[in-house]
Amino acid sequence: MSADHRKNLLFKALTCLAAVSVLGIVVGILAVILMESFPALKHFGIGAFLGGRDWNYTREIYGALRPLTGTVVSTGIALLAAVPLSLGTAVFLTEICPHRLRGAFGAAIELLAAIPSIIYGMWGLFVLAPFLDEWVQPAVGSALGGVPLIGSFFVTKSAGGVNLFSASLVLAVMIIPFITSIARDAFEQVPDVLKESSYALGATRWETVRKVVSAQSASAVGGGVIIAMGRALGETMAVAYVIGNRHASLDSLFSPYTTITSVIANEFNEAGGIQLSSLFTLALVLFIANFLALGVGRRLVKGKEK
C-alpha cells in the first residue's frame, strides 16, 4: 500500500469520524432530553401536557399550552415584521444599490447576526419597550381597540412596554440578517440574461423583480424564512428580558406573557422533581419543532439548487 493511499484512507476515516461525532452529539442530546422528559410525560400524558393551561408550582400541575402559544405567536409576529423588510433590503442590495456601496451595506446587515442575544435583550428592555409603550401601543389601541372580536388584543394591559409584542419585534430584528443574506444570495444567482431579456421586452424594474427575480428564487427565499423561523423559535435571553414571563391567558398582545424558552431560562436553576421534568418536556417540544422547521427549510433550498 502506497503512502498516498494510506493518507487517503486516514483522511477518509477522520472525516467520517467527525461526521459521526456530530450526529452522536445530536442523538445524545435528544436521548438525555427524552429520558428526563419521561416522568412528566408519564405523570400528565402527552395530550394533557400539551393542552394543559395551568403552570402551578403549589399543586405541581404543569401544562405547555401557554408557553407553546407564546412561542408560536411571537414567532409569527416576528416573521410578519421581518420578512417584508428583509426582502426589500435584499432587492435594494442586488438591484438598486450602487455597486461601490453594496459591500458596506451587506456587511452592516450581516453584523446584526453577530450581536449577542443578551445585547438585543438589553436594547429591547431599555430602548424598544419604552418607545413602544409611549408611542406605538396607545396609537394601535386607539385605532383597533374598538374593533369587534379582536379589539381587546390591541389594548395595553401593562405599563413599560414589557410584553409579547415587544419580544416579537426584538425577534424580528434578530432574524432580519438571516433572511436578508439568504434572499440576497438567491437573487444574485438569477442569470443576468433573464433580467436583461425582461428589460428588453419593456418590463419595468418592479415587474422584473416581481415576475423574474422573485419567481426564480422563491424556493430558496422560502427556505431562508423557515430557517430564520427556527432561529426565532429557539431564542432565549432576548425574549426573557422583554416578554414579562407571566403565566396567564393571552388577553392582549400588549400584555406580559411567556414562551417555552423564557420558562426554561427562568425556572431551570431552581426546578426539581416533576417541574424539572416538565421543563425538559418543553425542551423536547422545542427540539422537535426546530428540527422540523430546519428540515423543511433545507429541503426547499435543495429543491431550488436542483
Which string of b and e fits 106-117 if b means at least 16 CB within 10 Å?
Answer: beebeebeeeeb
Number of independent structural domains in the chain:
1
Mean of per-residue pLDDT scores for the chain: 90
Range of the domain at 256: 64-305
Res. 100: pLDDT tops 80 = yes
Residues 111-135 pLDDT 10s? 888 899 999 999 999 999 999 999 9
pTM of the model: 0.92
What is the bridge-based pairing of β-strands 55-56 and 61-62? antiparallel
DSSP-derived 3-state class of residue 62: strand
Tell me whether residue 49 is in a domain: no
Tell me whether residue 141 is in a domain: yes
Identify the band that residue 305 occupies on the pLDDT scale cut at 50, 70 and 90: low
Q: Which are the contacts of 239, defined by CB distance < 8 A and separation ≥ 6?
A: 74, 121, 167, 170, 171, 259, 261, 262
Tell me whether residue 127 is in a domain: yes
Tell me whether residue 286 is in a domain: yes
Residues 131-176 pLDDT 10s? 999 999 999 999 998 888 888 889 888 778 999 999 999 999 999 9
What number of residues does the chain have?
306
The predicted pLDDT at position 301 comes to: 67
The predicted pLDDT at position 7 comes to: 84
Q: Residue 93: give its domain's CATH number.
A: 1.10.3720.10
Question: How many Cα atoms sit within 13 Å of 17 on the Cβ side?
Answer: 6
Residues 257-303 pLDDT 10s? 999 999 999 999 888 899 999 999 999 999 998 888 888 777 776 66
Tell me whether residue 31 is in a domain: no
Tell me whether residue 151 is in a domain: yes
Distance from C-alpha of 88 to C-alpha of 182, rounded to nearest angstrom: 13
Tell me whether residue 164 is in a domain: yes
Tell me whether residue 237 is in a domain: yes
Residues 203-240 pLDDT 10s? 988 999 999 999 888 888 888 898 899 889 989 989 99
> In degrees, to the nearest 5, what angle opens at C-alpha 128 toward C-alphas 126 and 130?
65
Instruction: Answer yes or no: are the C-beta atoms of 123 and 174 closer than 8 Å.
Output: no
Instruction: Answer yes or no: are the C-beta atoms of 245 and 167 closer than 8 Å.
Output: no
